[in-house]
Amino acid sequence: MRHKIVAGNWKMHKNAEETEDLLNELIAKLPSDVAVEIIVAPTFVNLASAVDHLEFTNIDVAAQNMHQAESGAFTGEISADMLKNIGVNTVILGHSERRAYFHESDALLASKVNTALKHDMRVIFCFGEELKDRQAHQHFNIVENQLNDGLFHLETKDWVNIVLAYEPVWAIGTGETATPEQAQEMHHFIRETINAKYGGDVAEDVSILYGGSVKPDNAKEIFSKPDVDGGLIGGAALNSDHFAAIVNAI
């Protein structure tokens, strides 16, 4: 069901002690009575301790990636079963850094999505155009293709476990944010694209997050747009005051 979500992607930041410190700060500073789902995604090695640490809080834990295979000779990789087994039920897939640095294609992501859903995990599926695509006025085509190739093989029933995160690559970690109007325009397009494929119920029920240099001073305006259901936060998620301010901006 569509609802407000603020998720923090910690990327390759924070060792075990720093993870515990940041979690303690977040527990102290984040509101416990808000109608917004709060998620943090620490690194793989700190997921189990984060799940334990957050057990009696309203903060959920997500993984930043996982492998598509059930198990096997894939040195350095982590499976859906391993995540579920330590109490992680949500996984971020398709982040632009995975696409760019680890060459994850839409076809590969589609198979990761399938594996996650098979294990009853929820997927935060990231996608978005590069600067050159927007400059060439190809951003709608690019986004439509990413949805088509990564997710549109799914059945209607699968969409209860899908959260979308539109993240224009040119706005990630750059300080350059899409204007609230640009975010709304694309989120509306995404909902219309889903409507055309799956119908109004799926389109209205899916939560669509915006990601790309969301900060305490721009969050409120972005989140006020009707098709923006929250944010996927990178840099600002590493500062408990900033992350709490963003959650409170919903």
CA distance 244 to 30: 5
Closest distance between ligand PEP and the C-beta of residue 122, in Å? Answer: 17
Nearer to ligand PEP, 172 or 249 (CB): 172
* CA nearest neighbour of 172 among 222, 218, 210: 210
Closest distance between ligand PEP and the C-beta of residue 130, in Å? Answer: 14
Nearer to ligand PEP, 23 or 222 (CB): 222
In this structure, the number of other CB atoms found within 10 A of the CB of residue 53 comes to 19
CA distance 246 to 238: 12
Q: Which position among 97, 139, 167, 187 bears the catalytic label?
A: 167
Nearer to ligand PEP, 186 or 233 (CB): 233
Q: Which position among 37, 53, 95, 242 bears the catalytic label?
A: 95
Nearer to ligand PEP, 232 or 249 (CB): 232
Task: Write out the two tokens for 115.
Answer: 């594996």
CA distance 122 to 18: 27
Closest distance between ligand PEP and the C-beta of residue 212, in Å? Answer: 5
Nearer to ligand PEP, 183 or 232 (CB): 232
CA distance 187 to 126: 13
CA distance 165 to 118: 21
Closest distance between ligand PEP and the C-beta of residue 8, in Å? Answer: 9
Position closest to ligand PEP via CB: 234
Closest distance between ligand PEP and the C-beta of residue 48, in Å? Answer: 23
User: Residues for the chain: how many in total?
Assistant: 250
- 167 tagged catalytic: yes
* CA nearest neighbour of 126 among 9, 246, 250, 4: 9
CA distance 136 to 77: 37
Buried b (16+ CB within 10 A) or exposed e, 72-91: eeeeeebbbebbbeeebbbb
Residues contributing to the site for ligand PEP (CB under 6 A): 9, 167, 172-173, 211-214, 232-236
| Catalytic residue list | 95, 167
